[in-house]
Structure formats: structure tokens, C-alpha cells
Amino acid sequence: MNNSSKKYQSQSELEEQLILKHYGLAVSQALRFIGNDKQLLEDYIQVGLIGLLKAVRKYDKNRSKFSTFATTCIKNELINFVNRSLKRDKKINVIYNSDLLSTLSEKYVADPTDCFETINDLFTEEQRFIITKKIQNIPDEEISQAIGCSNIAFKDKIRDIIDTIKGSYAR
């Protein structure tokens, strides 16, 4: 075993020890980000550990205390993860909206006033509210809170609306 491989082995051992020692730091930061949703805890801990690993690899002992530096790295990694998740959720939201709008505006309705009459005839007040908010690109979470239902129940309501639209034109 040459000198460079010993150094590499000791470096990886050092990284492993530091990560194990500061594992709780990643967990505590992850808990701050998830709030009440414990289902996401494992994902956020993994992201926090990536931030911790980056901190271990980039730490300069002349600048600050390791835990302070690591906390910043973990927070930054978690913030980036949340931002990526939000972008992904927006894309999913656009898919839902485009499905709803394309279903409404397919060749079946030639006149826009017919579309509004169809909406008034087919849907309840709650369903019309949902359609209006979806067209305005309001996030699903806000709409579901406004009507007082869970996100899963809200997705079911969207499916029901789309099925109603498709069913009304299948006749």
C-alpha cells in the first residue's frame, strides 16, 4: 500500500467519523424543514447528509467552527431540495391544468358561452370553484385548504370533474 492510498483511506475514515459524529445536526435541520409531515423525514435527512458531506469536504478550520459551517451547508442543501421539489410540483400542476383545460376546450364546445353554460349545468358550486382556481393556476394545496379537504381528496375531486366533462361529451 503506497502513501497516497493510505492518505485516501484515512481521509475517507475521517469523513465517515465526522458524518457519524454530526448526524444529529442533519436530522435536526431536516426536522425544521418538514414541519408535521413525517413521511418526508427520511428524504430530508438524506439531503441533509449530502449537505453534511459537502461540509466535511469543504471545511476550512481557519474560518469558523465546524458545526456552524455544517449547519449552513445542510440548510443550503435542504433549501435547494425544496426549490427543486417546488419546480417539479409546478410542472405537475401545469399538467393537471392543461388536462382540465384541454378537456374543456376540445372541439365539443365551439362557443365560449356554451362552455360556461356547460360548466354551470354540470357542476356543483364547489366544483366550479375548483375549476376557476385551477384555471387561475392557484396551487392545489391552497385550493384544498380553501374547500377544507385533504390533498388526496382534492385530487379525487379533480378526477371526478374531468370524468364528468368527458362523460358529458361521450353521450
**How many Å apart are CA 89 and CA 92, to the nearest integer?**
5
pLDDT (0 to 100) of residue 74: 92
How do the pLDDT tens digits run along the chain, 171 residues long?
A: 444 445 556 778 888 888 899 999 999 888 887 766 677 888 889 999 999 999 998 988 888 888 889 999 999 998 888 888 777 666 555 555 555 555 555 544 555 556 666 666 778 888 888 888 888 888 888 888 888 888 888 889 988 888 887 776 655
Q: What's the start-to-end Cα distance of the chain, in Å?
A: 78
**Encoded amino acid at 4, one letter:** S
Domains contained in the chain, CATH given: 3-86 (1.10.1740.10), 106-170 (1.10.10)
pLDDT value, residue 3: 47
Dist CA 60 CA 69 (whole Å): 9
Q: What are the φ/ψ torsions at residue 150 (nearest 5 degrees)? A: -75, 165
Query: Tell me, what's the pLDDT at 73?
Result: 92
Q: What is the pTM of this model?
A: 0.48
